[in-house]
Amino acid sequence: MEIFINNHASVPIYEQISSQIKALIMSGELKAGEALPSIRGLAKSLHISVLTVQKAYDTLQSDGFIETTAGKGCFVSAQNQDFYLEEQQKRIEEHLTEAIEIAKVSGIKLEQLQSLLSLLYEED
């Protein structure tokens, strides 16, 4: 797992860390049950304070992305799968809404749009 921080960004470092880990979880690169680096280990590799990593992990835990087990570490939460699917559906809905608007402006009928969607879906 690679995390990049920008010391010159206006976004706090703990938010940079938590947003990158969320993105890794949402993309499926980090799977449910997978262990995250230890707080000390990540802090050392990023050359930042342990408290900064702790704050990032606390944020991830409060958002339901990770679970912490005393003495064992932090793990990707299985509960995030529902959230992930919901987020993906929202993204698809946004893109489809845009496609529908373009189709309407272009005079493409619903049947043609459905046919195109089916064709594209079956391609892979």
53-102, pLDDT tens digit by residue? Answer: 999 999 999 988 999 998 899 999 986 667 767 777 888 999 999 999 99
Report the percentage of the chain scoring pLDDT > 70.
96
- Residues facing residue 75 across a β-bridge: 35, 67
- Average pLDDT, whole number, for the chain? 91
Kindly state the average pLDDT of the residues 23-34.
89
When divided into structural domains, the chain yields a total of: 2
Enter the pTM of the model: 0.66
Residue 24 to residue 21: CA distance in whole angstroms: 5
The amino acid at 19: S
Contact 39, 54 (CB under 8 A): yes
Give me the pLDDT at residue 49, please.
96
Give me the pLDDT at residue 27, please.
82
Give me the pLDDT at residue 87, please.
74
Do residues 42 and 21 share a domain?
yes
Contact 54, 42 (CB under 8 A): no
Identify the helix (H) or strand (E) that includes residue 107. Answer: none
Residue 67 to residue 80: CA distance in whole angstroms: 11
Give me the pLDDT at residue 123, please.
86
Do residues 116 and 93 share a domain?
yes
Do residues 17 and 74 share a domain?
yes
Within-domain flag for 96: yes
Give me the pLDDT at residue 81, please.
65
Evaluate if residue 103 carries a pLDDT over 80. Answer: yes
Evaluate if residue 8 carries a pLDDT over 80. Answer: yes
Do residues 91 and 108 share a domain?
yes
Do residues 91 and 73 share a domain?
no
pLDDT band of residue 118 (cuts 50, 70, 90) is very high
